[in-house]
Amino acid sequence: MLKIHREVCGYCGACVSVCPEGSLELIDAFLTVNTETCKSCKICVKVCPLGALEVVDEE
């Protein structure tokens, strides 16, 4: 599942624009992910200018 490292995230929204599922949303300074629709495709992980996103194994 997608993990958002909030201490790294600069809430710019670059990830939101490339998400094919529309699973990400930027609410002011808070990025949210809909884990039900997110397919862990990692496109957002790649594009993030700061490296704030990571796909981790579900526990």
Partner 1 sequence: MKSNYDVLVIGGGPGGALAAKTAAENGLSVCLIEKRPAIGVPVRCAEGIGEDLIHEFFDEVNPKWISADIKRAVLISPDGQKVTLDPSIAGNEVGYVLDRKTFDRDLIWMAAGAGAEIYVKTRAVDAIVKDGIVQGARIEQGGVEQDVYASIVIAADGVESKFARWCDINSTVPLRELETCAQYLMTDIDIDNEATVFYVGNEISPGGYVWIFPKGDRTANVGIGIMGNKSGDGHRAKDYLDAFVQKTFPEGKTIELIIGGVSVCEPLACTVADGLIIVGDAARLSDPITGGGIYNAMYTGRLAAEVATEAISQKNCSKESLIVYDETWRNSKMGDALARNYQIKELFITLDDTVLNTILNSVKKIQMTEFSTRQLVREIMNFNPKLRKELKSLKKYFE
1-59 binders of partner 1 (CB under 8 A): 10, 12-20, 22, 25-29, 43, 46-51
Beta bridge partner(s), residue 53: 4
Residue 12 CA from chain centroid, whole number? 11
Q: Which residue has the tokens 């992910």?
A: 33
Looking at the Cβ atoms of 29 and 56, the one nearer to partner 1 is 29
Rounded to a whole number of angstroms, the minimum distance from the CB of residue 4 to partner 1 is 14
Rounded to a whole number of angstroms, the minimum distance from the CB of residue 59 to partner 1 is 23
Cα separation, 23 vs 35, in Å, equals 7
